Amino acid sequence: MLEGWKKFNFWVLMLLVPINIYLIFLYAPVEKTMGIVQKVFYFHVASAWIGLLAFVVVFIASIAYLANRKVQMNHLALASAEIGTLFISCTLLTGPLWAYPIWNTWWTWDPRLTTTLVLWFMYVAYIALQGGGTAENRRRFAAVYGIVAFINVPLVFFSARWWRSIHPIVVSGEGIGLTPKMRFVMFFSIVTFSFLYTYLLGLRYKGISLAERINRLKAELSQ
Amino acid sequence: MVFFTLGYAVIWILILGYTALIRSQQSKLEKQIVILEERLREQERAAES
């Protein structure tokens, strides 16, 4: 079933990615004050959303692991944490590329930027934690850490609303501050990145399961 | 245009690089599993005889 889903996902991506490139480069209008650099926004926002979604999956899978001790839940949490960290890395790298021409600085210790950087460090630590210790202890500690680290996810989302922040807020209680064409491209990018996330999740989950099987086979051989 | 192109390139280099890395890791693991299973079968055959 996983293989079938992966194939489906792959072909959907083959369709969505070129359309997304076309929409970003040619369909989305150029913003009047910021110019073409505003288009960084379409993949910056999409990767941030998918990064946060990935950490929601880590949180849920960690709770599920502690509740029923199924190893698959631990594998799912680890795979999702890795991919979430990848997407948050994309967010942290593309943000300064937009900020420099607009804010005239690569980085500022703004609440949104700072909480996102802290989030990135927390999940790098989670991945490192999954790499050490005995199998059962490692999984249990990682699950607890995966739940505790999740506290930073809503902080990142609400930081620009709760504290004085210069980071733009696109989706607020007053609606979405974008033209219809820009809004369509933003949602299309989020959908494309969601498929990318599920595709990578399937790949990485299989890789972690294979590594676990190798450990079992090695243990059997050494008996 | 430079910053926009750089941003776009960063995203795809990271994503495609990561995909290539996990795909190559996966194929190595699959090969390793075949070898280990073969060794395990040999060990079982040796124990039986």
Q: Which two tokens stand for residue A218?
A: 């090695």
Contacts with A114 (C-beta within 8 Å, 6 or more apart), sequence order: A159
* H or E element that contains A176: strand A175-176
At residue A158, the pLDDT reads: 86
Q: Residue B17 is part of which domain span?
A: 1-49
pTM exceeds 0.95, yes or no: no
Instruction: Using an 8 Å CB-CB cutoff, list chain A residues near B3.
Output: 37, 40, 97-98, 100-101
Q: Which two tokens stand for residue A159?
A: 């930081």
Longest dimension (CA), chain A: 70
Ranges of each domain in chain A: 43-217
Ranges of chain A whose pLDDT falls below 50: none
Instruction: Using an 8 Å CB-CB cutoff, list chain B residues near A97.
Output: 3-4, 6-7, 10
At residue B5, the pLDDT reads: 82
- Cross-chain residue pair A40–B4, CB shorter than 8 Å: yes
Instruction: Using an 8 Å CB-CB cutoff, list chain B residues near A196.
Output: 15
A to B CB pairs, distance under 8 Å: 74
ipTM over 0.90: no
How many structural domains comprise chain B? 1
Task: Please write the tens of the pLDDT for every residue from A71-122.
Answer: 999 999 999 999 999 999 999 999 998 888 888 889 989 899 999 999 999 9
At residue A159, the pLDDT reads: 85
At residue A171, the pLDDT reads: 66
At residue A174, the pLDDT reads: 65
